[in-house]
Amino acid sequence: MKLLALESATEQCSVALWHGGTLSCIQGPAHRDHSETLLPMVQRLLSEAGVDQSQLDAIAFGMGPGAFTGLRMACGVAQGMALGLGIPVVPISTLLALAEGSGHERVITALDARMNQLYVAAYESVSGQWITRIAPCLCDSDQLPQLPEGIWLPVGSGAEMCRIALIQAWPGQLLPVKAGLIPQAIHVATLGVAAFQSGLAVPPEQAVPLYLRDKVALTRMERAAK
C-alpha cells in the first residue's frame, strides 16, 4: 500500500509517505501561504521515494483542529490530488496524531487556540487501539472538561502554555508535560493506514476540516455576551 499524508495544522508543515511498510517524511516551517511549502514538499518526497502520484492508494491529512489556513490547505491539497487520481481521502484528527507521537498510553492533547482557549482531547491506547476518552473540543483554559481516572501525559503547545491551568484542573493526574511535540505527518500516515484498512476512508468531496470554532475572529466581548 502507498499512502501520502499531509499535516499543516501548526506553524510546521510536514508530508509523509507510507510505502510498502516503510515511512519517509519531510518537515519544515510553514510560509504565510502554506501552499508554498506543502506542494513542493509532496513533489520532493514522491520524487525521492521513486513513487509516482498515480501509484498512491489514498491520501491522509490532519483534519484539525488547528490553524485555519493550514487546515484548509491540507484538506484542499488532499482533495485536489485525490479527485484527480480517483482515490479516497482519510481525515485524521490532529490531536490524535499528537497522541500517536507521544509514546504513552494515556495522553491529554492540547493545542493553543488563542484568546485564552485550548483545543483539547484525551486518548487512551487499549490493546494497540486508540480510544477517545475526551472528544476534541474547544474550551477556555480555566474551564477544562473532566478527565477520566488515571495518570495522563499532557502534550502539545496548549499543554506547555497552560501547564498550571491543567494541573489545577486535574490535580494528581498529570505527568510532567512532554515538551516540543507537534502534530507530524508521519503519525498521520500511521493512523491513516490503520483507518484506511478499517474502512474509514471517504470520497474526496466528503473530506472537511475540523475547525471547532465557528467564527475565526470571535472577540472576548462577543464571548462574554453569550
Tens of pLDDT, residues 197-212: 999 999 999 999 999 9
Task: Give the pLDDT confidence score for residue 34 in this predicted structure.
Answer: 59
Domain residue ranges in the chain: 2-93+183-206, 102-169
Tens of pLDDT, residues 77-129: 999 999 999 999 999 999 999 999 999 999 999 999 999 999 999 999 999 99
2-93+183-206 and 102-169 agree in CATH topology: yes
- What whole-number distance in Å separates Cα of residue 118 and Cα of residue 33? 24
Query: Which residue's C-alpha cell is 482515490?
Result: 87
- Whether the pLDDT of residue 222 is over 70: the answer is no
CATH of the domain spanning 102-169, picked from 3.30.420.40, 1.10.510.10, 3.40.1790.10, 3.30.70.141:
3.30.420.40
Tens of pLDDT, residues 2-54: 999 999 999 899 999 999 889 999 999 876 665 678 999 999 999 999 999 99
- Whether the pLDDT of residue 218 is over 80: the answer is no
CATH of the domain spanning 2-93+183-206, picked from 2.60.40.1180, 1.10.3720.10, 3.30.420.40, 3.40.190.10:
3.30.420.40
